[in-house]
Amino acid sequence: MAGLLCACWLALYAVSTGAAEPNKDAAAKPKSKPKTTGMLYKKNPRRTTGVYFPDDWKATDKRAALVIFRCNIPVQREHFRKLGMVIIKPQLAGVNSGRLPGLTLEQIAKQPKPRMQVEDVKSAIRFIRANAGKLGIDPNRIVATGTSGGGDLALQAAINTAFEDPQDDKSVSHRPDGLVLYCPAFDGIDIWFVRMDAFIRRIKTEAPAFMPHLKQFIVNTTDPYATPRNHRADLIKRAATIGKQHNFEAKQVAAFQDILLMFNKRDWQLLHPYQEALKMSASRILTKEPLPPTLIMYGTRDHLFQHQQAFVAAAKRKGQAFELKVFENAGHSFMMQPSFEKPSTQRAEQFLRKWKFLP
């Protein structure tokens, strides 16, 4: 198989301990782990995907596939594998803003950008569809799923037209045939970025002495979103230095330093140009073209709740149809929490059966 990295069968044998006599029938039938394989879905940059096959899988099957983006949901993965779906988990570009404070701006410029993950999810769906015969799946029954940012990326695979890997075969569709979105982080630009109007408003109100010095802190005051010139911690030190040089009152220096905390602790704006973030904002790029069958699930205690609600409202205004399940008192990643793991998995199963992704 082209691009095949590895294929293996693993078996786990039960071992009995204690005084009781071992169950000979059980010992004679080892419990098998799922058949798995790895495949190379992109050569440059190198990207692989793991594949988990149902127990009775054959290459001649026409099964539905569940493609999991940027998250680990082992209970759900195993549940739907046992129900007969081929589970596929692609590797994506290693975007990691958490390391930014230790890098220079020049080093940050060379880091993988979020748009590369959008390119990767589209490449992965195309690869899976083009290789459906080798994977034993139906090319018209590919469901994309993910949690948080992975949920948003699953949606991007369906609706994003801005970012493409030029090496992809554009004759193969990148759109999934179904979407199951767990606590999705829609509209990251509204979550992570600092709006210029809010930034300026606070400075004028709380620290007006710093208005003439803004260009030492942000790139362009006319942009809709503020791009910091350096890491947040460095900007806070710079504020103290400027305050001392110009004899600003301590109250205004402290207020300005507090305003700089609007730049989130991971300095996301340094990694992710706002022009690109706008082209990945689900509410902004969603059109009236119907979504594939879609289930959106999140909880009322999710820290992203207001952004999720805003996306749902925007999608409805555009006439989009989808299924929505909001779990009361559920937080982020609720599908991993004991109280919500089973009901959310059952809800997803109900959706998949309704749309014939499961028998």
Q: pLDDT per residue over 349-359, tens digit each?
A: 999 999 999 98
- Contact indicator for 300, 329 with CB cutoff of 8 Å: yes
Backbone angles phi, psi at 90, to 5 degrees: -80, 145
- Name the 3-class secondary structure at 67: strand
pLDDT single digits (tens) 227-277: 999 999 999 999 999 999 999 999 999 999 999 999 988 888 999 999 999
CB 82 within 8 A of CB 207: no
Q: In the prediction, which pLDDT does 102 show? A: 86
Placement of tokens 């759109």 in the chain: 175
Residue 107 is predicted with a pLDDT of 94
- Looking at the structure, do residues 11 and 97 belong to the same domain, yes or no? yes
Residue 111 lies in a domain: yes
- Residue 272, CA distances (Å) to 164, 240, 266, 276, 340 in order: 17, 27, 11, 7, 33
> 183 and 201 share a domain?
no
Q: Which two tokens stand for residue 322?
A: 């989808």
The reply to whether 94 and 237 lie within a common domain is no
Name the residue type at position 339. S
Q: Is residue 271 part of a domain?
A: no
Instruction: Round the average pLDDT of the chain to a whole number and report it.
Output: 90
Q: ∠ at Cα 347 (139, 175), nearest 5°?
A: 25
Tokens, residue 88: 């596929």
Task: Compute φ and ψ for 54, nearest 5 degrees.
Answer: -60, 160
Do residue 169 and residue 87 come from a single domain?
A: yes
Number of structural domains (the chain) is: 2
Which range marks the domain in which residue 350 is found?
4-190+276-354
Q: Using 50, 70 and 90 to split pLDDT, how confident is the model at 15?
A: very low
Do 32 and 158 lie in a common domain? yes
Contact 332, 183 (CB under 8 A): yes
Q: Are residues 135 and 209 both part of a single domain? A: no
CATH classification of the domain holding 31: 3.40.50.1820
Q: Are 40 and 111 contained in the same domain?
A: yes
Task: Report the first-to-last Cα separation within the chain, whole angstroms.
Answer: 28
Question: Is residue 34 domain-shared with residue 94, that is, in the same domain?
Answer: yes
pLDDT band at 10 (very low <50, low <70, confident <90, very high): very low
Domain end: 262, 286, 317, which one? Answer: 262
Packing angle of the helix pair 338-354, 74-82 (nearest 10 deg): 40
Structure tokens of 175?
């759109």
Rounded Cα–Cα distance for residues 208 and 220 (Å): 18
Neighbouring residues of 272: CB distance < 8 A, sequence distance ≥ 6: 97, 113, 114, 188, 192
For residue 159, tell me if it sits in a domain: yes
Question: Which residue has tokens 């609720």?
Answer: 334
Structure tokens at 143: 């469901």
**Residues 245 and 312 reside in one and the same domain:** no
- Cβ atoms of residues 14 and 27 within 8 Å: yes
Domain-located, residue 267: no
pLDDT digits over 176-229, tens only?
999 999 999 999 999 999 999 999 999 999 999 999 999 999 999 999 999 999
- 221 and 280, same structural domain? no
- Cα–Cα distance measured from residue 280 to residue 267, given in angstroms and rounded to the nearest whole number: 18
| Same domain for 159 and 23 | yes
**The last residue of a domain, from among 239, 262, 285:** 262
Looking up tokens 């400075």, which residue turns up?
Answer: 203
Structural domain contains residue 329: yes
Same domain, yes or no: 226 and 350 = no
Comparison of pLDDT for 218 and 101, the residue scoring more: 218
Task: Taking residues 126-149, report their average pLDDT.
Answer: 97
Contact status, residue 87 vs residue 68, Cβ threshold 8 Å? yes
Residue 269: inside a domain: no
What are 343's two structure tokens? 């009901």
Say whether the peptide bond before residue 45 is cis (omega within 30 degrees of 0): yes
- Bridge partners of 179, per DSSP, are 144, 294
The answer for residues whose C-beta is within 8 angstroms of residue 143's C-beta and 6 or more apart is 64, 65, 66, 67, 85, 176, 177, 178, 179, 180, 352, 357
Instruction: With respect to residue 288, please indicate whether it lies within any of the assigned structural domains.
Output: yes
**Cβ proximity of 89 and 68 under 8 Å:** yes
Contact 86, 64 (CB under 8 A): yes
- Using the 3D structure, point to which of 262, 296, 312 is the last residue of a domain: 262
| Angle between helix 149-159 and 114-130 (nearest 10) | 60
Pairing of strands 294-299, 323-327: parallel
Task: For residue 268, tell me if it sits in a domain.
Answer: no
